[in-house]
Structures are given as C-alpha cells and as structure tokens.
C-alpha cells in the first residue's frame, strides 16, 4: 500500500476491483464503512461476482475476469476525452511531456521490437529522446506528437465505452456511471483510493493491471495524498515483509537485485544500477545503491567483505535466467533437475497451479523437507486419499522429513502489514510437543553445514564458513539480535558528510536510519529500507503510542513504517508546485519557505525546494511514469490481452493469444484450451471465503464448521441450461484435471455478453484439501493453467476455461 | 510490557474496587465480605497477557493472548483465550470470523508435535529425533551441493550457484526469521528460492 489501512477514512471514493476486502480483509474494510459514514464517501465494486463488498457498494459493475486493463484504459480514455484530468499535477508530477524516441510503435496488439520466437521484445525503442545536455527531452506544452501524453491518448482511444462492453461484458450504462464517479476525483479536492488484491495479480498480465490503475490515479492526481493511493491488500500477514527482506530468487533485501552472470564484478554490477538523474536537480535516490549493497554484504559476511574483494561480491550466486521462480522451479523438478527441496510454512501442493504436475514433480525429488506448524498436504503428497489425492505411495521414492515449527503465538518478532507497518509481537504460549522456532531450525541447519564444510572441505565453502553469525547463542539467535542486524550498525565512527564534526553513530552503535549508510564498509545493514526500525532509541517496531494529531490516521508513534517511518509514500505530491496542499482540508506536508513539515515524515529531502525537486525521488526523472520505458517486459503502456484460456478471441488484437511476452513452458502450452473453445466453454475463476484463510483454517474446528465443504458457484441460468440442481453434484473439468463438488446456484453470478457471445462464469473457492478438520475436498488448482505474469510469474489462477456437468452423488 | 501490566492490574483492582466501595458504602460490612468471598475471581485476572498480531491477512489486527503461566518467568504457558486489542489503531478490538477463532488455530488437533520421516516408498510417517533429522538434512544438502555446485559458467565467469536444491520460504514468519533464512539459504549459493508472495 502507498497509504495505510487507517488512511482509508480520508477518501471520497473507494474503488474495489481485483479484490474483495469485505470478505478477505474484513477489519481493514471497516475503514471503508467509516469513510462512507463520516465523509459521505462512495464505494464502487467491479467484480465478476456480486461479492459482500459489492453488497454494501453504491455502484456495482460486473466484469469478465481477465479484462481489467480494457476497463481501466477505458476509464483513462473517458477522463482524457472529457477533460477530467488534474492538469497541473499531470504536467508537473508525471512524464506526460517527455518525448519518446522515434521508432516506438504499437500496432495490432504488439509494441515495437517483438520477437515471436523468443516471446520477448527488443525494448531499445521504448525510451525517451535524450538531449545534448544528457537529460531527457521534455515538452511542457504537451504539444509534441511524440510526447508521452499524446502517445497515451492514441493508445487508449480504442477503449471506448462500446469496446469496454464488448470485451468486459460490462453494460455500457454501468461503465459510464463508474466513469462519471471516478472522473469527479480529478478535482484537487477529491481523492479516490484503489483497493486491490489477488484479483489483479493472478493473471498473465497482473503487473499491467496494477499499472493501468496507477496511471489512472496519476491522471486524477491521487498519488501521495490522504485518502488516495494504490493500495495492494496483501494476502498473508508477512508477505510484505518476506518480499521486503528479499526472499525471492532474484532479490537482495530492500529491492536490490541479485547480479546476473553478465556482471562479473562489482563495477559491472553497479554500471546498470544507481541511476543518475534524467532531469536537472532530481534526487534519484538509487544513486545511493552502492551504500545499501555494501552495507548488506557487511551484514552477510562481516570482516570477510573487504574493499579488496569487492565486498565479497563473488560470494553471491549469479543468475543465468531472470529468476528461478516457483513455476520454473517446479518445471525443473518435473524434468528431474532438482534433488532437494525445503518448504518453510508453504503448502505448495495446494497453492500451485496444475496439481497433477506438482504431484509428479514432488515425486521426482530425492528429499522433501517441510517445516510447518500444521500437517500440510505437501508433506503428505505421497499419501493416498482416494479421489482427493490419488497416488500410489509405493511408487513414490521421495524421502520426506516433516519438522514441527511454532506459530505466531509462540514466538517474538515483527511482521510487516499491508500498510508497511512493522509491528512487533510477543510470544504468549509454550510450543506444542517438540515444535521449534524457525530461527532455531535455520541456525541448526547452518551450523551443521558449516561444521561439515570445516571438517571435510568441499565446493566453495567460503560463504558458508564466513557467514556473519554474531549471536550470543549461535544455535538459537534471538529476534532482537536479528532485528538489530537488519537495522544496521556503525562498524567505525560515521559522521555527517556535510559536517564531519557531527557524529551520526559511534563505532559499534546502531544506526539511526539509512541516511547513515556508507559504501566504504564502515556500516552494516541487513535491509536498508528497514533501517531505523531498531536503533539506539530502542525497538521502534514495539511502539504503542496511539497519538494521532488532528486524526489524520497517520499514527506516527505506533510501530515503525518503512521507509523512515513514513506513512504515505510520495507525500510530497500532496502539495502543489509551490508546496501548498492541493486540498487544504487534507494537508499531509507543506513547504514553509525553508523546509517541509506536517503530519507525516516528508518523502523528499527536508530542504528540497518545491518547483525544483520532483516528488518521485526514486525515479531518475523525479516524476512518475505514465510510460515506463523498458522496465516492463510486456510494454511501456498496458494493453488488453485475453487470458491464455479465454472464451473469446481478443477483439482488439485477434492474432495475439494471451500475453505475448509471458513465458510458457513447452509442455504447458499443449495443456491450454483453445480460445473460444467448444470443449471448455465456461470461464472459471478462483476465490476465497470470509470464513477461511487459505489452507490454514480448515484445521480450525470453528471455521471448518462454518464452511465445511468444497463447492462451486454458478448462475441460475447456467444451472438451468445444464440441468444442474441447487446443491446437486457436478463434475467440473479443465484440460488439466477434474473435480467433483456440490453446486451452489446463486444470483451472485450472472452470465455476461462478450463480443456478442454469452459467457457463463464458474466460481471455485480454494480452501479445501485432505488434511484438517473440514471435509476432504478439491480446490481450483486441480484445474488451473501453468503460466505466470510476464513480469513476475504470478500464476494465472483467476481466469481459465472449464466444462461442467451434473453427476449423481459423491464419488469419493 | 508496561501497558500489559497496567491492563492486568486494572482488571484486578477493578474487581476489588467494586466490592470495596459500592456495597461498603451502604454499610453492609460483613455481608460484603461474605459476598466478595462467594464471587468467583474474574478468570482473565489470573492470566498473563501478551500483545500479538493476527497471523492471517495483512490487516494485521492487534490481538491479546491470555495464558495460564508466564513465559517471561520461564514458566510453561498455555494460551486459554485470544481477543482483539482495543488499543490497536487499525482494528480497535474487532476481529473477523477467522481472527475470532484464532485459539482454535493455536490448539488445532493437527498441530505438528515431533519430527517425522517418510522413507522412500513407505505409506506412513515414522517418528524421528531433531538430531537425526537435522543431521540428515545437512548431510544431503552438502552432498548435493558438492556434486552440483557451478563455480564458473562456460565463459569462465565466476557464478558460484547451486540450482539442484531449492527453498520455499513462508508468508507469515517474522522479518527476523526471514532475514536469518535469507542468510542461511543465500550463503549456500542457492538460486531456486522464493516465498509465498510469488503466488
């Protein structure tokens, strides 16, 4: 989230699209009802199902899953056509006036530089004209036909209300009502917030779904303001933290990236990072990249990271592919190329697409290790549970070790919520049986590996032998010790670069924040964006002061919010070019002639003059991007692509199937149904229920009682057409598998008309399996396709094709 | 901790204060004592409190864990009740249908109790010990790493990667667990490394 849960109270309009906060984030959704009750805010819900969020909305518009970009670009088109744009914001704070190179084109669904064989683009034409002064060429009048604003205008022109209706199935009058309400928020004194979740991410173009809304929010001037923002409602309690700390194939903590094999040394690595400003006077904060990186290496390798060895640069593995994401990992496993796999609190068998492929892959491992508080299906993938897990244990040669770990109630530490608040929690109970904390388990594995390498030698033991391990009890590090390591420490005296007489931190002391980081090895810091979380003032994540001056919802003294305890990202953009709040009633920070101050920690250098230094300090432009240059794999603008399995052919680009830049493994393509398939005519989507949390709460008796049994949800029309009775049994199958379930026949789902064709929707909730207190059941992942988003490889769980028929009684 | 103690103290004194003032002021001295003795002590007054946050979605509602026994004093502690934290700015004491049943998660019958091993081809798990399980994991990791570690690529560039073993990190572990896990996994050269945010 750019903003926080408690900030939603400040909004005028909530758009829930790609999510269902009332059911999936109920206590956060209360801030929506608060805004409705106290400010007269309105709520719009756009969803294939009439959800509980929709049931309290002011306006509900149905949409076919996988067509959000067409809808959102339709809204942008409407705003531009009707001059509902916050012009001053767009001109000053976005790259609307930046001139794009000759050679950039978009035609028939493809941007310039497409290579069909590689399913990838040569992105060299997706960039700005660079002037003789080395800076990007900008036309402040927006007259240049090749400036971003005019290219965008042309790009979205095809998404008329009629085209939106044709693609999305949203009736034109409903779409226009949404557009009118959204367009009102182009006023500097109106704010709209976007609340989205997996309904946007779990598509082969998930990243571009989010970009499309971010662009709309920029055009309306809603980024950086109270009650505005792009608010990703993260799924799990520490998904945000695990990502911030960089536990992904290609990441280092704090959104630094792992080197690839074309970067043999630190100089080569730094040459493509640490961006120089593209416009005069801009902060371009990634210029400090080397400080973050070197301090991280010092946290990892302590005294073994020296200026002479490029701070142990060779200790980091180098990538040969963009990343070993889970889809690539399980495809490799399927080919027998992975021997050992360790799952820490992650139920892969239930969570990943195409369960048959996942089972086959796990069956090829030599060893599977599962650390979990609960008995998961993954740890028992080899166990026969009839139709629900139809395997022959004797044919599976994988050794499985299951390790009992503690749960939240039995350990101390911090979790990062969706609003970037790091909140400390304390253990209340003794772990059951022999269950152990994950910190203990990981330390034990490391110490054993280290001892084996010390005794026996072996392949490049240096990073294991030299891993910095400064804990009082090496076998059981405490949460406080690690939190301090993450925050960072001065290894030598650190002084202010502007005034060397001013000491920022004495040697050995905790650093006050990331501004004190250095690139000469004199500081260590595990995760730069978290620096300040645990400094000499104490554990700031444990703060519990609820003081909130003027009730802005900032709560600056509650816990710690990254970065630098800032609650609203890009908050400099809440003020105009002179530094005055766009909306005096919704001030965040203002310029007093000498410095920035207000209700939040300014997201700009405190003395950076308005009018000179742009608000988007992480970007070398200093402004936000309506056109992303070559930073996304599938285009500098979003474009509508159908899901890989789609009930109609793409109306705007009939020759393009799916997202043309999405990676598809060979065997998986053969397992996709054809577009507009007669064999699989129905558009399926997966979803969650308010009574359950993923695959955890089926272990909880209360929740198992509330929602005991797997079902699929269909419309009355489809039920009538197929002769399916309410609560009758059905079989649902895709090209990858088959499930049986009770049919819930509802009015919440209605058939849509897309491109002149009736499209029926089948809803498939995901909470069941074969362990726990609930009845055994299937889930959508028996059916889902094995393909991910082009940029980040999140699987396309939300849009695929199935068939359905009534069957007689339970089969299992 | 201060807030936890003061809240607990408040519950205890509130109970005593009721008996001491309301009835005492009306002059029922002995009756008051007998009556107070007959009132069962407020259950939560005898518990230890710990501030925590809900482990499910990312709203991260504040919760209070009530336990018999005090972990901070080195005692065994059994969680007997969980409720919303009224001081928390986001949820202000409220919980959803999932969070309201958190006690059932902590005490689920399917919580794992001890390390188990399933041998190749077997149709059931057998108990094992932590020592044996961890020794075995470290041994197999080292053997696989030594056999398959790639020090340089075909162009002779140092790459120091290990891609025949993978690690899948969680979604609800702490940032501190996450960072320590990062250190342990990355120091081996592992690249097949992801967390639940991927899906």
Under a CB-based contact definition with an 8 Å cutoff, are residues A97 and A149 in contact? yes
CATH code: domain of residue A31: 3.40.228.10
Q: How many CB atoms lie within 10 A of CB B47?
A: 23
Tell me, yes or no, whether A67 and A168 share the same domain: yes
Region at A550 (left for phi over 0; alpha for psi -120 to 50; beta for the rest): left
Give me chain A's average pLDDT, please: 97
Predicted confidence band of residue B44 (pLDDT cuts 50, 70, 90): confident
Contacts of A128 (CB under 8 A, 6+ apart): A95, A98, A99, A100, A101, A136, A137, A278, A629
Local structure of A110: helix, strand or coil: strand
Tell me, yes or no, whether A218 and A165 share the same domain: yes
Closest CB to A249: pick one of B108, B130, B192.
B192
User: Which ipTM value was assigned to this complex?
Assistant: 0.98
Tell me, yes or no, whether A181 and A310 share the same domain: no
Q: What is the pLDDT of residue A760?
A: 98
Tell me, yes or no, whether A496 and A526 share the same domain: yes
Q: What is the pLDDT of residues A505-555, one digit of tens each?
A: 999 999 999 999 999 999 999 999 999 999 999 999 999 999 999 999 999
Residue A446 lies in a domain: no
Tell me, yes or no, whether A70 and A210 share the same domain: yes
Closest CB to B174: pick one of A235, A414, A795.
A414
Local structure of A9: helix, strand or coil: helix
Residue B148: closest C-alpha in chain A? A459
Nearest to A4 by CA among A247, A253, A234, A244: A234
Q: How many domains does chain A have?
A: 3
Mean pLDDT for A54-74 is 98
Q: How many CB atoms lie within 10 A of CB A500?
A: 8
Selected residue of B136, B175, B182 to mutate for chain A interface (largest A Cβ count, 10 A): B175
Mean pLDDT for A124-139 is 98
Whether chain A has a CB inside 8 Å of the CB on B34: the answer is no
Local structure of A202: helix, strand or coil: coil
Tell me, yes or no, whether A681 and A753 share the same domain: yes
Q: What is the pLDDT of residue A406?
A: 98
pTM summary value:
0.95
Tell me, yes or no, whether A497 and A535 share the same domain: yes
What gap in Å lies between CA B31 and CA B23, rounded to an integer?
A: 9
The boundaries of the domain holding residue A65 are 5-92+160-234
Mean pLDDT for A113-134 is 97
What gap in Å lies between CA B161 and CA A423, rounded to an integer?
A: 35
Position B11 pLDDT exceeds 70: no
Position A648 pLDDT exceeds 60: yes
Under a CB-based contact definition with an 8 Å cutoff, are residues A695 and A377 in contact? yes
Residue A11 lies in a domain: yes
| A92 DSSP 8-state letter | H
Q: What is the pLDDT of residues A369-404, one digit of tens each?
A: 999 999 999 999 999 999 999 999 999 999 999 999
Nearest to A788 by CA among A333, A330, A413, A336: A330
Q: Which tokens go with A493?
A: 């005296």
Tell me, yes or no, whether A200 and A249 share the same domain: no
Residue A782 lies in a domain: yes
**Residue that terminates a domain, selected from A183, A202, A234:** A234
Q: What is the pLDDT of residues A759-770, one digit of tens each?
A: 999 999 999 999
Local structure of A765: helix, strand or coil: strand
Q: What is the pLDDT of residues A592-642, one digit of tens each?
A: 999 999 999 999 999 999 999 999 999 999 999 999 999 999 999 999 999
Q: How many CB atoms lie within 10 A of CB B41?
A: 9
Q: Which tokens go with A713?
A: 């949800």
Concatenating the DSSP letter of every residue in chain B gives -HHHHHHHHHHHHHHHHHIIIIIHHTT-HHHHHHHHHHSPPPGGGGSEEEEEE-SSSTT--EEEEEEES-GGGT---EEEEEEE-TT-TTTTT---TTGGGHHHHHT-TTB--S-EEE-TT-SS-EE--HHHHHHHHHHHHHHHHHHH-EEE-TT--EEEEEEEEEEE--SSS-HHHHHHHHHHHHTTTEEEEE-GGG-
Predicted confidence band of residue B18 (pLDDT cuts 50, 70, 90): very low
Tell me, yes or no, whether A284 and A301 share the same domain: yes
Tell me, yes or no, whether A178 and A291 share the same domain: no
What gap in Å lies between CA A355 and CA A361, rounded to an integer?
A: 10
Residue A457 lies in a domain: no
Give me chain B's average pLDDT, please: 88
CB contact (8 A) between residue A439 and residue B153? no
Percentage of the residues of chain A whose pLDDT score is greater than 90: 99
H helix runs in A276-365, sequence order: 289-301, 326-334, 348-351, 355-362
Q: What is the pLDDT of residue B3?
A: 43
Whether chain B has a CB inside 8 Å of the CB on A462: the answer is no
The verdict on whether omega for the bond into residue A563 sits within 30 degrees of 0, i.e. cis, is yes
With beta carbons under 8 A apart, name residues in chain B contacting A413.
174-177
Q: What is the pLDDT of residues A490-519, one digit of tens each?
A: 999 999 999 999 999 999 999 999 999 999
Tell me, yes or no, whether A244 and A230 share the same domain: no
In degrees and rounded to multiples of 5, residue A651 shows phi and psi of -65, -30
Task: Go through the domains of chain B in sequence order and give each one's CATH number.
Answer: 2-106 (2.20.25.90), 116-198 (no CATH)
CATH code: domain of residue A718: 2.40.40.20
| C-alpha distances in Å from residue A620, one per residue of A306, A519, A569, A623, B65 | 30, 20, 17, 8, 47
Q: Strands A367-372 and A340-344: what pairing?
A: parallel
CB contact (8 A) between residue A417 and residue B60? yes
Q: Strands A752-754 and A737-746: what pairing?
A: unpaired
Higher pLDDT, A812 or A137: A137
What gap in Å lies between CA A254 and CA A564, rounded to an integer?
A: 13
Residue A762 lies in a domain: yes
First to last CA, chain B: 37
Residue A326 lies in a domain: no
Position B8 pLDDT exceeds 80: no
Tell me, yes or no, whether A73 and A209 share the same domain: yes
Selected residue of B135, B138, B139, B198 to mutate for chain A interface (largest A Cβ count, 10 A): B198
**Residue that terminates a domain, selected from A208, A234, A260:** A234
Place of tokens 């269909």: A714
Residue A791 lies in a domain: yes
Q: Which tokens go with A71?
A: 């809808």
Residue B160: closest C-alpha in chain A? A317
Place of tokens 């801009």: A282
In degrees and rounded to multiples of 5, residue A520 shows phi and psi of -105, 10
H helix runs in A40-191, sequence order: 52-55, 68-81, 87-93, 148-156, 161-168, 172-183
Predicted confidence band of residue B25 (pLDDT cuts 50, 70, 90): low
For the four alpha carbons of A442, A448, A449 and A450, in that order, the dihedral sign comes to positive
**Residue that terminates a domain, selected from A518, A540, A562:** A540
First to last CA, chain A: 43
Angle at A532 between CA A527 and CA A538, to 5 degrees: 125
Whether chain A has a CB inside 8 Å of the CB on B133: the answer is yes
Residue A195 lies in a domain: yes
Local structure of A333: helix, strand or coil: helix
């Amino acid at each position: 989230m750019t903003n926080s849960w408690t900030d939603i109270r400040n909004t005028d309009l909530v758009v829930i699209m790609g999510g269902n906060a009332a059911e999936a984030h109920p206590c956060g959704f209360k801030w929506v009802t608060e805004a409705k009750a106290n400010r007269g805010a309105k709520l719009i819900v756009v969803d294939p199902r009439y959800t509980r969020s929709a049931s309290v909305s002011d306006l509900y518009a149905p949409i076919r899953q996988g067509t959000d970009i067409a809808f959102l670009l339709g809204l942008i088109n409407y705003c531009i056509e009707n001059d509902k744009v916050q012009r001053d914001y767009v001109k000053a704070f976005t790259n609307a006036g930046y001139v794009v190179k000759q050679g950039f084109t978009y035609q028939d669904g493809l941007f310039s530089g497409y290579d069909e064989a590689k399913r990838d683009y040569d992105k060299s034409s997706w960039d700005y004209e660079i002037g003789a002064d080395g800076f990007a060429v900008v036309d402040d009048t927006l007259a240049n036909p090749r400036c971003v604003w005019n290219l965008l205008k042309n790009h979205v022109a095809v998404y008329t209300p009629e085209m939106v209706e044709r693609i999305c199935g949203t009736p034109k009058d409903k779409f226009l009502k949404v557009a009118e309400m959204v367009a009102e928020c182009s006023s500097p004194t109106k704010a709209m917030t976007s609340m989205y979740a997996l309904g946007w991410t779990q598509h082969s173009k998930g990243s571009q779904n989010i970009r499309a809304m971010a662009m709309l929010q920029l055009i309306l001037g809603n980024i950086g303001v109270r009650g505005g923002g792009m608010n990703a409602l993260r799924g799990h309690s520490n998904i945000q933290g695990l990502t911030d700390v960089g536990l992904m194939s290609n990441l280092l903590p704090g959104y630094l990236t792992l080197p690839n094999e074309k970067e043999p040394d630190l100089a080569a690595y730094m040459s493509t990072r640490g961006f120089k400003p593209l416009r005069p006077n801009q902060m371009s904060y990634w210029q400090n990249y080397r400080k973050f990186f070197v301090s991280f290496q010092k946290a990892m390798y302590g005294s073994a990271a020296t200026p002479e060895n490029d701070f142990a640069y060779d200790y980091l593995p180098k990538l040969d592919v963009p990343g070993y994401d889970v889809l690539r990992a399980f495809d490799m496993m399927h080919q027998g190329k992975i021997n050992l796999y360790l799952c820490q609190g992650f139920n892969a068998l239930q969570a990943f697409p195409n369960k048959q492929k996942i089972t086959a892959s796990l069956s090829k491992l030599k060893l599977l290790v599962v650390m979990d508080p609960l008995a998961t299906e993954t740890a028992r993938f080899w166990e026969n549970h009839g139709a629900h897990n139809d395997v022959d244990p004797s044919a599976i040669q994988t050794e499985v070790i299951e390790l009992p770990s503690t749960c939240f109630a039995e350990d101390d530490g911090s979790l990062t919520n969706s609003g970037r608040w790091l909140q400390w929690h304390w253990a209340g109970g003794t772990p059951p049986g022999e269950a152990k904390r994950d910190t203990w388990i990981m330390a034990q594995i490391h110490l054993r590996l280290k001892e084996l390498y010390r005794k026996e030698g072996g392949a490049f033991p240096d990073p294991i032998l030299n891993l910095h391990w400064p804990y009082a009890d090496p076998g059981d590090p405490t949460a406080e010790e690690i939190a301090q390591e993450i925050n960072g420490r001065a290894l030598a005296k650190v002084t202010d670069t502007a005034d060397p007489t001013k000491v920022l931190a004495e040697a050995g002391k905790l650093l006050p924040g990331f501004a004190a980081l250095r690139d000469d090895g004199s500081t260590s810091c595990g995760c730069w964006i978290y620096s300040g979380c645990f400094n000499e003032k104490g554990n700031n994540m444990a703060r519990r002061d609820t003081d909130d001056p003027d009730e802005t919802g900032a709560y600056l003294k509650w816990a710690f919010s990254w970065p630098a305890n800032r609650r609203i990202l890009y908050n400099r953009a809440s003020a105009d070019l002179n530094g005055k709040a766009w909306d005096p009633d919704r001030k965040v920070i203002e310029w007093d002639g000498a410095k920035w101050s207000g209700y939040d920690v300014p997201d700009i250098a405190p003395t950076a003059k308005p009018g000179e230094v742009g608000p988007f300090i992480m970007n070398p432009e200093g402004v936000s991007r309506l056109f992303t240059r070559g930073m996304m794999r599938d285009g500098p603008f979003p474009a509508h692509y159908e899901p890989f399995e789609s009930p109609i052919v793409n109306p705007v680009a009939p020759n393009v199937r799916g997202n043309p830049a999405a990676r598809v493994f060979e065997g998986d393509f053969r397992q996709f149904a054809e577009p507009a398939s007669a064999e699989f005519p129905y558009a399926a989507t997966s979803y969650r229920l308010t009574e359950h949390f993923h695959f955890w709460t089926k272990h909880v008796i209360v929740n198992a009682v509330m929602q005991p049994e797997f079902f699929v949800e269909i419309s009355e029309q489809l039920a009538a057409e197929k002769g399916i009775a309410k609560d009758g049994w059905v079989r649902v199958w895709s090209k990858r598998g088959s499930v049986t379930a009770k049919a819930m026949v509802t009015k919440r789902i209605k058939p849509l008309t897309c491109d002149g064709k009736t499209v029926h929707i089948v809803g498939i909730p995901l909470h069941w399996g074969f362990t726990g207190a609930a009845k055994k059941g299937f889930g959508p992942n028996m059916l889902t396709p094995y393909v991910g988003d082009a940029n980040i490889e999140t699987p396309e769980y939300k849009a695929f094709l199935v068939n359905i028929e009534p069957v007689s009684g339970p089969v299992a | 901790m201060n807030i936890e103690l003061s809240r607990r103290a408040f519950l205890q004194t509130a109970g005593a204060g009721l008996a001491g003032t309301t009835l005492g002021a009306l002059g029922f001295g002995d009756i008051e004592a007998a009556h107070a003795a007959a009132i069962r002590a407020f259950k939560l007054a005898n518990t230890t409190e710990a501030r925590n946050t809900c482990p499910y979605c990312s709203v991260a509602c504040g919760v209070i864990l009530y336990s018999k026994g005090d972990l901070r004093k080195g005692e065994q502690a059994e969680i007997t009740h969980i409720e919303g934290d009224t001081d928390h700015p986001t949820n202000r004491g409220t919980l959803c249908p999932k969070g309201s049943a958190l006690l059932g998660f902590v005490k689920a019958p399917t919580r794992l109790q001890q390390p188990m091993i399933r041998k190749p081809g077997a149709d059931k798990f057998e108990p094992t010990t932590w020592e044996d399980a961890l020794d075995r994991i470290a041994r197999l990791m080292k053997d696989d790493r030594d056999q398959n570690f790639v020090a340089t690529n075909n162009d002779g560039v140092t790459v120091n990667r290990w891609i025949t073993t993978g690690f899948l990190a969680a979604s609800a572990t702490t940032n501190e667990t996450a960072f320590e896990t990062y250190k342990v996994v990355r120091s081996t050269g592992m690249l097949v490394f992801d967390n639940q945010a991927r899906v």
